[in-house]
C-alpha cells in the first residue's frame, strides 16, 4: 500500500513547494538576513555589503531614548489591551451565546470590524476621537467630563491607541470564544442546572475551565499581536507616531528607522530585540499553560 | 416519594412526543421506562426532571404540583446517558460539586462525597479525572454525583447503553443494589426489554408517545395488554400467527388451543418460543428449516401455518436441518389478539 519512502517524500515536497517557496522568500530568508544585517555598522541593502561588524547597533538601540519610549509604550499597550479585550470578548461571547433578542443583528455587527480594513477603522476612529466633533467627547460631555484632545494631547495619545486597540481586536476574539462556547457539550449545563449551580459558578467552574485551551490560545495570539502593534498607530495618526512620538511602538520604531532614517542595520537590531522579547514571553506562557490549562 | 403524571403532553414543533400520559411511579421502587426509540420515554424523563416544559398536563411529586417548578428546585438527581461528568474535575470534585453549589462546607462535602464513593465502590478513584476512567467507573461517579445531594427522585437516562455487554450485566446489578440500599424512588429509561425485565420492580412501556401498560415485569410478560407489548417483551420474540376461532377452538398446524366461550372470528395467536415441547410421539410433525445453538438451549425455525416460527428447546435433543420433529404444547400457553392487536381474554 505504501510507496517507497523517498518517492512519497518527494511528492509531499512538490505539493508543499508553493507555500514553502513563498514562506522561504518572504519569511525565512528575510529573518536570517535581518539578523545578519543587524551586526553591521553600515550596510548596503542593495549590494549586500557591510562594514563594522559588531554589537554597536544593539548598544545604540538600547540607549536610544526613542526606543526605550517605544518599549515602554508597547509594554503598557500590551499589558492593558490583552486582558481587557479578552475579558470583554469573553463576556460578549457568553451574552451572544445566550441567544438574546436581535441576535442576528449583533452577529453582523460584531463581525464587521473583523472584515474591515484597520486603516479604514482608524480613519473612523479619528472622527470618534476628534476633540470638537467627536462622538466620544460628546458622550463624555454628558457625564460632565471636559473636552479631551485625544489625538493632539501627548497625555492622551497612548490611551487613545489603547481604546482603538481593544476595539479593533474584539471581533476575532469574540468569534473564537463563541465557537469555543458553542462547542461545549450542552449536557454539562443541563447537569449544572439540575444541581442548582448559580450562573456565576456555571461560568467560572464550567465554561471558563472548559474554554481554557482557547483562552490560552487567544492569549498568546493577542499578546504577540499587541507587541507587534503598528497598523493601529498608522490608522490613528497617519505618518507620525502621535504628538511628540507619544504613541511610538517598537514596530513603528523599526519602520521609522528603516524608511524614515534610512538606517537598516538599526531597524534590524531593533527587530531582533523584539523577536527575542516575544520568544521569551511565549516560552514563559507555554510553561505556565502546562500547569494551568485544565485538560 | 411518589411521582404522578396526569394527562402529560409534550409537543415539539411537528411531533407529539408524549401524548396524554397518566402514569404513577411507585415510591421507593425501581421503575423501568421502556419502549422503542422515539416512543417518548426520554422526553418523559426530561419532563420529570424539568429540563423540558410540559405542553399540558401536570406532574406531581407526592401531592406537590411541580409542573412549573424549575429543575434545580425539584430535588432530583439525573444521570445522563453519556454521564456528563465535568472533564476538568476529578471524581471527587465532580461528586462534591452539587454540594458546594448549596454552600455545604467543604469538609462536610468531602465527607459526604467519600461516603457516596463507598456506596458506588469507587473510593480508590476519587483523584482521577473522567478521561482516566472506564465507562463503568464514570457511570458510578455519575450516580454518586446524582445521589450525593440526597435527591427525592433518581432519574437515569439509558444508563447502560454506552457500556459493553459484560459491564452492562455488572452495572445493572449495581444500579439495583444502589437503589435497594438508598431506597430512593428511581426511574430509568431503556430500550432494552431484557434490561428492564431484569431489574425493574415495575415497567412502564410506551409507544409513539402513548402509554401502553404499567405492570411488574412478570405480569407484563404473562399478561400484555396488546400485541405490541407482547412482541416487545421476550427474547427470542413471541410467535404471532394469524388464525381463526372455530367452535371455541383454534387449530394451528395441528396443535389445538382452547378458546372456550369466544365467538368464531379471525384472531392473531401469540405463542412464546418456550411454550413448546419436543415429543417424538406427537402427531404434529414439523420440518426444521434452520436452527441456532445457544449452549443450554437450541432455537428451531419451523413453519406453523405458513408462518416462520421460533421454537426454543433443550439442547440435549440433537437436531439437524431438515429433520422432522414432533411438537406438543405446554398447558394452554398462548395469548389471543384481535386483528387490531388488542388482547382478547380467554
CATH number of the domain to which A219 belongs: 1.10.3720.10
Tell me the nearest-neighbour CA distance from B210 into chain A, angstroms.
Answer: 26
Cell numbers given for A215: 483562552
Q: What is the DSSP letter of B145?
A: H
**How many independent structural domains does chain A possess?**
2
User: Which tops the pLDDT comparison, B208 or A112?
Assistant: B208
- Domain termination site, one of A55, A72, A88: A55
Residues A85, A224, single domain; the answer is yes
Tell me the nearest-neighbour CA distance from B84 into chain A, angstroms.
Answer: 6
Q: Tell whether A256 is covered by a domain.
A: yes
Asked whether the beta carbons of residue A205 and residue B72 sit closer than 8 angstroms, the reply is no
pLDDT at A41: 87
Task: Count Cβ atoms below 10 Å from residue A233 Cβ, excluding itself.
Answer: 26
Cell numbers given for B235: 427474547
Residues A23, A67, single domain; the answer is no
pLDDT of A100 over the 70 cut: no
Least confident piece of the model among A140-149, B76-85, B205-214:
A140-149
pLDDT at B289: 94
**Averaged pLDDT for residues B275-297:** 90
Taking the C-alpha atoms of residue B148 and residue B107, their distance in angstroms, rounded to an integer, is: 14
Residues A221, A79, single domain; the answer is yes
pLDDT of B156 over the 70 cut: yes
Asked whether the beta carbons of residue B101 and residue A190 sit closer than 8 angstroms, the reply is no
Tens-place pLDDT, residues A5-59: 888 889 999 999 999 999 999 999 999 999 999 999 888 878 888 888 888 899 9
Q: What is the DSSP letter of B23?
A: E
Q: What is the DSSP letter of A98?
A: T
**Averaged pLDDT for residues A224-234:** 91
Cell numbers given for B291: 436452527
pLDDT of A137 over the 90 cut: no
Tell me the nearest-neighbour CA distance from A216 into chain B, angstroms.
Answer: 15
| Residue B226's pLDDT band (cuts 50, 70, 90) | very high
pLDDT of B248 over the 80 cut: yes
Residues A40, A77, single domain; the answer is no
User: Which tops the pLDDT comparison, A290 or B107?
Assistant: B107
pLDDT at A169: 85
Residues A109, A162, single domain; the answer is yes
**Averaged pLDDT for residues B134-151:** 92
| Residue A119's pLDDT band (cuts 50, 70, 90) | confident
**Averaged pLDDT for residues B132-142:** 92
| Residue B279's pLDDT band (cuts 50, 70, 90) | confident
pLDDT at A101: 65
Residues A34, A172, single domain; the answer is no
Tens-place pLDDT, residues A238-271: 878 888 888 899 999 999 998 888 888 999 999 9
Exposed, middle or buried, A89 (CB in 10 Å: 0-12/13-18/19+)? Answer: buried
φ/ψ region of B239 (left if φ > 0, alpha if ψ in -120 to 50, else beta) reads beta
pLDDT at B338: 93
Taking the C-alpha atoms of residue A164 and residue A148, their distance in angstroms, rounded to an integer, is: 16
Half-sphere exposure of A232 (CA within 13 A, CB side): 28
**Averaged pLDDT for residues A90-94:** 89
pLDDT of A135 over the 90 cut: no
Taking the C-alpha atoms of residue A148 and residue A131, their distance in angstroms, rounded to an integer, is: 6
Asked whether the beta carbons of residue B101 and residue A201 sit closer than 8 angstroms, the reply is yes
Residues A146, A29, single domain; the answer is no
Q: Tell whether A1 is covered by a domain.
A: no
Taking the C-alpha atoms of residue A26 and residue A37, their distance in angstroms, rounded to an integer, is: 16
**Averaged pLDDT for residues B320-342:** 88
pLDDT at A292: 65
Tens-place pLDDT, residues A58-87: 999 999 999 999 999 999 999 999 999 999
Tell me which residue of B101, B72, B103 sits closest to B89, measured CA to CA.
Answer: B101
pLDDT of A2 over the 70 cut: no
pLDDT at B186: 96
Contact yes or no for B152/B89 (Cβ under 8 A): no
Residues of A in contact with B149 (CB under 8 A): 195
Range of the domain at A51: 6-55
Q: Which residue of B has its CA nearest to A198?
A: B101
Tell me the nearest-neighbour CA distance from B109 into chain A, angstroms.
Answer: 14
Residues A157, A254, single domain; the answer is yes
Residues A146, A202, single domain; the answer is yes
Cell numbers given for B329: 404444547
Asked whether the beta carbons of residue B97 and residue A198 sit closer than 8 angstroms, the reply is no
Taking the C-alpha atoms of residue B322 and residue B301, their distance in angstroms, rounded to an integer, is: 11
**Averaged pLDDT for residues A171-179:** 88
Q: Tell whether A94 is covered by a domain.
A: yes
Residues A137, A175, single domain; the answer is yes
Most A CBs within 10 Å, among B101, B102, B131, to test the A interface: B101
Q: Which residue of B has its CA nearest to A193?
A: B72
Residues A23, A153, single domain; the answer is no
pLDDT at B14: 85
- Domain termination site, one of A14, A31, A55: A55
Residues A17, A105, single domain; the answer is no
Q: Tell whether A205 is covered by a domain.
A: yes
pLDDT at A48: 81
| Residue B167's pLDDT band (cuts 50, 70, 90) | confident
pLDDT of B150 over the 80 cut: yes
pLDDT at A8: 85
**Averaged pLDDT for residues A196-210:** 92
Amino acid at each position: 500500500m505504501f510507496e517507497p519512502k523517498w518517492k512519497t517524500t518527494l511528492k509531499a515536497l512538490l505539493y508543499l513547494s508553493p507555500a514553502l517557496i513563498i514562506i522561504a522568500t518572504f519569511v525565512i530568508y528575510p529573518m536570517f538576513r535581518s539578523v545578519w544585517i543587524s551586526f553591521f555598522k553600515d550596510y548596503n541593502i542593495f549590494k549586500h555589503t557591510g562594514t563594522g561588524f559588531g554589537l554597536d547597533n544593539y548598544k545604540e538601540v538600547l540607549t536610544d531614548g526613542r526606543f526605550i519610549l517605544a518599549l515602554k509604550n508597547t509594554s503598557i499597550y500590551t499589558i492593558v489591551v490583552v486582558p481587557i479585550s479578552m475579558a470583554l470578548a469573553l463576556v460578549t461571547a457568553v451574552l451572544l451565546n445566550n441567544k438574546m433578542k436581535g441576535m442576528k443583528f449583533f452577529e453582523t455587527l460584531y463581525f464587521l470590524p473583523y472584515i474591515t480594513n484597520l486603516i479604514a477603522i482608524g480613519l473612523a476612529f479619528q472622527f470618534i476621537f476628534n476633540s470638537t466633533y467627536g462622538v466620544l467627547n460628546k458622550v463624555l460631555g454628558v457625564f460632565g467630563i471636559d473636552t479631551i484632545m485625544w489625538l493632539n494631547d501627548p497625555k492622551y495619545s497612548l490611551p487613545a491607541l489603547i481604546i482603538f486597540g481593544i476595539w479593533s481586536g474584539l471581533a476575532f476574539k469574540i468569534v473564537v470564544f463563541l465557537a469555543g462556547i458553542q462547542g461545549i457539550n450542552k449536557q454539562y449545563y443541563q447537569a449544572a442546572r439540575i444541581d442548582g449551580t448559580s450562573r456565576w459558578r456555571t461560568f467560572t467552574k464550567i465554561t471558563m475551565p472548559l474554554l481554557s485551551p482557547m483562552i490560552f490560545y487567544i492569549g498568546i495570539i493577542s499578546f504577540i499581536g499587541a507587541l507587534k502593534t503598528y497598523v493601529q498607530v498608522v490608522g490613528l495618526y497617519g505618518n507620525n507616531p502621535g504628538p511628540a512620538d507619544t504613541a511610538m511602538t517598537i514596530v513603528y520604531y523599526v519602520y521609522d528607522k528603516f524608511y524614515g532614517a534610512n538606517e537598516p542595520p538599526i531597524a534590524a537590531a531593533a527587530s531582533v530585540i523584539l523577536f527575542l522579547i516575544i520568544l521569551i514571553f511565549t516560552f514563559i506562557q507555554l510553561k505556565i499553560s502546562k500547569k494551568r490549562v485544565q485538560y | 416519594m411518589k411521582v404522578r403524571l396526569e394527562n402529560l403532553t409534550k409537543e415539539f414543533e411537528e411531533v407529539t412526543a408524549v401524548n396524554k400520559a397518566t402514569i404513577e411511579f411507585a415510591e421507593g421502587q425501581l421503575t423501568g421506562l421502556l419502549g422503542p426509540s422515539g416512543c417518548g420515554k426520554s422526553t418523559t424523563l426530561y419532563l420529570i426532571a424539568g429540563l423540558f416544559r410540559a405542553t399540558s398536563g401536570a406532574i406531581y411529586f407526592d401531592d406537590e404540583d411541580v409542573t412549573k417548578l424549575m429543575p434545580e428546585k425539584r430535588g432530583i438527581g439525573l444521570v445522563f446517558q453519556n454521564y456528563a461528568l465535568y472533564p476538568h474535575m476529578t471524581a471527587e470534585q465532580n461528586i462534591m460539586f452539587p454540594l458546594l453549589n448549596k454552600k455545604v462546607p467543604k469538609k462536610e462535602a468531602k465527607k459526604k462525597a467519600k461516603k457516596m464513593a463507598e456506596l458506588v465502590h469507587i473510593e480508590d478513584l476519587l483523584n482521577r479525572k473522567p478521561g482516566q476512567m472506564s465507562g463503568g467507573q464514570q457511570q458510578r461517579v455519575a450516580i454518586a454525583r446524582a445521589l450525593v445531594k440526597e435527591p427525592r427522585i433518581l432519574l437515569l437516562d439509558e444508563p447502560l447503553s454506552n457500556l459493553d455487554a459484560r459491564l452492562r450485566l455488572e452495572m445493572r446489578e449495581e444500579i439495583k443494589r444502589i437503589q435497594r440500599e438508598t431506597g430512593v424512588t428511581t426511574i430509568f429509561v431503556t430500550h432494552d426489554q431484557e434490561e428492564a425485565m431484569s431489574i425493574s420492580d415495575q415497567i412502564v412501556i410506551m409507544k409513539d408517545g402513548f402509554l401502553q401498560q404499567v405492570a411488574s415485569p412478570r405480569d407484563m410478560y404473562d399478561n400484555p395488554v396488546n400485541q405490541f407489548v407482547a412482541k416487545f417483551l421476550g427474547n427470542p420474540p413471541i410467535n404471532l400467527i394469524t388464525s381463526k376461532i372455530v367452535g371455541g377452538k383454534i387449530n394451528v398446524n395441528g396443535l389445538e388451543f382452547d378458546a372456550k366461550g369466544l365467538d368464531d372470528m379471525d384472531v392473531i395467536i401469540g405463542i412464546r418460543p418456550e411454550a413448546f415441547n419436543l415429543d417424538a410421539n406427537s402427531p404434529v410433525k414439523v420440518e426444521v428449516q434452520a436452527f441456532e445453538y445457544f449452549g443450554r438451549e437450541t432455537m428451531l425455525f419451523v413453519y406453523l401455518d405458513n408462518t416462520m416460527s421460533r421454537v426454543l428447546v433443550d439442547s440435549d435433543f440433537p437436531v439437524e436441518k431438515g429433520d422432522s420433529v414432533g411438537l406438543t404444547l405446554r398447558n394452554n400457553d398462548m395469548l389471543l389478539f384481535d386483528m387490531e392487536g388488542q388482547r382478547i381474554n380467554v
